[in-house]
Structure 1
Amino acid sequence: MTACLAVGADAAVLAHRPARVDIAMPSTSSAAAGETWLILGTDSRTTVPGEQSRYGTAQEVEGSRADVIALVRPSDSGVTIINLPRDLTINSRGMELDRLATTYVPGPQNTVNALCTGLGVPTTHLITIDMAQFADIIDSLGGIDVDVPEPVRDAYTGLNITSAGPHRLTGIDALALVRSRHPEILNNGTWVSMSEADGARRRSESTATVMRAALSAISQRSSNPLELHRLAHTIAGNITLDSDTGLSDLAALGRSASKSEKTGSTTLVDLPTGPRDDSIIVSPSQESRDLLARHGYTPKSCHPTGS
């Protein structure tokens, strides 16, 4: 009896650890859409890991944008993660163009609506994570193991990896890697700046690398009940969920992700886009529309609530 009460109390504490935000989820007329978790990594300077000078203050960099936008789709065959470029520019409200990154400035409801009207994506669950929370989660895993193709640095994010090959990254270093948009690579002893377009592509690749490494680390630790308990509390305390997503939903996603990693059925996809130049704008291509359609995301099939 005492053990049951303890378990119940622990579950109650765990359920109340995530912050909550009210979101009106869209509806869809597509039978193939299934369940879609929208994961947003934000760049608010209100709370940051490490020294504030590394990121700028909230007065210097006002507001909050979506730095990482990923669609997570669990299914019986595995988990698919579609990484959307933050610079992807879509018609989100009538003929108004918005970059996915800045759709978050008015708040997450606006991003949910923009993905619905612009790409036909009907969000069913929302998770947002700020920079400090991201670093805390990575550190709770003991860091993550990534393979770096060449030495790379970025003065804007504090990234400084001086050798190629496998590296164990702390939360701050993993954050610097996924935020890097102005990387320099070491080529024949000389640091060479990548172009804006190549830097954006590298950032997308780095995001996928970090995601896979984090999923692998979570899967490894979930086999130990004590580690799983500690990790569940850490993750739950470092995320914001929509108000209608419960602990059971989050647990089901965790089980799907862990099983998918163990069976090698996790698929990470970078959404293909049209040609990039040195501007920050990139448009959906026919290839990207075809990929989204294969997952049940089609134009005019998604309807924001109240529209």
Structure 2
Amino acid sequence: MSGEDERGAGDGDAARRGEERRPRWSGWPVRPVRLARSGWSGRSRLFKAAGVAVGCALVVSVAGAAWAYWQLNHNIKSVDIDSALGDDRPPRAMTTPTGTVTASASPLPSGALNILVLGSDSRGGERNKELGGGSSEGARSDTAMIVHVDEGRSEATVVSIPRDTLVTRPSCPQSSGGSTPMAYSVMFNSAYSTGGPVCAVKTVETMTNVRMDHYIEIDFAGFADLVDALGGVTVTTDEDISDEDSHLELEAGTHHLDGTQALAFARTRHGIGDGSDLGRIGLQQKLVKALLDQVSSTDLLASPTRLYTVADALTSSLTTDTGLNSLSELVDLGQSLRSLSSTSMETVTMPVIPALSDPNRVVAEEPEAAELWESLK
């Protein structure tokens, strides 16, 4: 047998005995190549599987976030009030930027702001009946508030306008063409039912001579969903409330209300005080402050699911002007108002006196009303 045969046989005998082969050029043993390949192959497959899983999770996360953003944006309805009313309006207040300008973000505005907020009460449908709505059809703006935010946006005044106020309703442009006729000594809330958001804004600007920078309409059914998404709201009433129309029964004291109860609280009129709209306004003003407290005390960022639920309920209930018709614009507005709290918010009602023509209606009390509007400029 040759030397090469002897080495080959020796190697074969070592392999059969399970011994490690030594390279001819080294005295150090190395692990069999077969075992090394097997180990790294298993790890490689594991890393690949983990990478695929992480990649899939990222894709799903990004896709989910994109879908959520699209859905919330899609929820918001808007009306182009600026184009409809043109330049025949009170001058717009100048806004002052604050903060440091960076390449990635613009400073938040801090100028004074006036926002007309309407509560749209849809009177028909099964859902409305379940929520304690009236029996008549159509939609009404039974809640009207001018939210004035001071320069710096850390303080605000909410002015409620009684729906029974007799006003001069100006001629308003219609989306179908033409315009509505001017009307004298008509109820304030007829502006919305006659000409929608555009006429509501024009009527407020005509009676106050104050430019409305933004318009926000909140659907009452959506409002109930929003309160539920926030986990309810806590209010205190000084007297018992019993209203068959709104289906609200509350004893005097502090109560934590769900969405249906909160909506009934906002609608209640005949079950408190003298049954006038002024009593309802008082309850609505309490509710506004209570909601602000609830939002401030709720850590929405701690739960993305709850954050989305609240955002979905909010955007689903809104109709805005075109300056607020995107999620990013609403977020910017919210961030600019982050210093507001219930203690820095004052609620007042437009000064009124009973109308001579009808004791069930009111008219602006002058000069107090004019002085109030002047303070909002």
The verdict on how the C-alpha distance between 1:110 and 1:101 changes in structure 2, with shifts beyond 3 A counting, is: same
1:108 paired residue among 172, 197, 201: 197
The verdict on how the C-alpha distance between 1:260 and 1:83 changes in structure 2, with shifts beyond 3 A counting, is: same
Q: Distance in 2 between matches of 1:238 and 1:13?
A: 13
- Say if 2:372 is the partner of 1:283: no
Query: Counterpart of 2:122 in 1: which secondary structure?
Result: coil
1:266 paired residue among 335, 345, 353: 345
Deviations 1:117-164 (A, max 9, x none): 122232222221222111111111111100111211111211211x22
Q: Distance in 2 between matches of 1:25 and 1:4?
A: 40
* Matched-pair contact (CA < 8 Å) for 1:42–1:68: yes
The verdict on how the C-alpha distance between 1:281 and 1:289 changes in structure 2, with shifts beyond 3 A counting, is: same
Q: Distance in 2 between matches of 1:86 and 1:237?
A: 25
* Matched-pair contact (CA < 8 Å) for 2:134–2:245: no
Per the normalisation by structure 2, the TM-score is: 0.66
Show the counterpart of 1:144. Answer: 233
- Say if 2:316 is the partner of 1:216: no
Query: Counterpart of 1:195 in 2: which secondary structure?
Result: coil
Show the counterpart of 1:97. Answer: 185
The verdict on how the C-alpha distance between 1:135 and 1:276 changes in structure 2, with shifts beyond 3 A counting, is: farther
The verdict on how the C-alpha distance between 1:13 and 1:205 changes in structure 2, with shifts beyond 3 A counting, is: same
Offset of residue 86 of structure 1: 1.4
Q: Distance in 1 between matches of 2:124 and 2:334?
A: 28
The verdict on how the C-alpha distance between 1:74 and 1:232 changes in structure 2, with shifts beyond 3 A counting, is: farther
Show the counterpart of 2:266. Answer: 178
1:88 paired residue among 162, 165, 174: 165
Q: Distance in 2 between matches of 1:140 and 1:70?
A: 23
2:220 paired residue among 97, 116, 131: 131
1:44 paired residue among 122, 136, 144: 122
Offset of residue 275 of structure 1: 4.4
Offset of residue 55 of structure 1: 2.6
* Matched-pair contact (CA < 8 Å) for 1:37–1:71: yes
Deviations 1:35-78 (A, max 9, x none): 32211112212456464594344xxx132211110112334132
Q: Distance in 1 between matches of 2:237 and 2:131?
A: 26
Alignment of 1:219-258 (within 5 A): 219-222=296-299, 224-226=301-303, 227-245=306-324, 246-258=326-338
Offset of residue 113 of structure 1: 1.1
Please state which structure has a larger fraction of its residues in helix: 2
| Structure 2 spans left out of the alignment, 5+ residues | 1-57, 95-110, 171-181
Q: Distance in 1 between matches of 2:219 and 2:92?
A: 32
Q: Distance in 2 between matches of 1:85 and 1:64?
A: 17
Show the counterpart of 2:76. Answer: 18
Show the counterpart of 1:200. Answer: 277
- Structure with the greater alpha carbon radius of gyration: 2
Offset of residue 105 of structure 1: 0.6
Deviations 1:21-42 (A, max 9, x none): 3323563236579432211112
Number of residue-to-residue matches in the alignment = 280
Offset of residue 213 of structure 1: 0.7
Query: Counterpart of 2:146 in 1: which secondary structure?
Result: strand
Query: Counterpart of 1:62 in 2: which secondary structure?
Result: coil
Q: Distance in 2 between matches of 1:222 and 1:47?
A: 35
Q: Distance in 2 between matches of 1:154 and 1:223?
A: 34
| Structure 1 spans left out of the alignment, 5+ residues | 185-193, 297-307
Show the counterpart of 1:160. Answer: 249
Please state which structure has a larger fraction of its residues in strand: 1
Q: Distance in 1 between matches of 2:115 and 2:126?
A: 25
Query: Counterpart of 1:288 in 2: which secondary structure?
Result: helix
Displacement over 6 Å in runs of 4+: none
Show the counterpart of 1:70. Answer: 145
Query: Counterpart of 1:104 in 2: which secondary structure?
Result: helix
**What letter corresponds to residue 373 of structure 2 in structure 1?**
L
Offset of residue 242 of structure 1: 2.3
Identical amino acids, percent of aligned pairs: 28
CA root-mean-square deviation: 2.8
The verdict on how the C-alpha distance between 1:30 and 1:53 changes in structure 2, with shifts beyond 3 A counting, is: closer
Q: Distance in 2 between matches of 1:218 and 1:243?
A: 25
Deviations 1:88-108 (A, max 9, x none): 222222662232222111211
Larger deviation, residues 33-42 vs 22-31: 22-31
Offset of residue 221 of structure 1: 1.7
Q: Distance in 1 between matches of 2:231 and 2:91?
A: 43
* Matched-pair contact (CA < 8 Å) for 1:208–1:268: yes
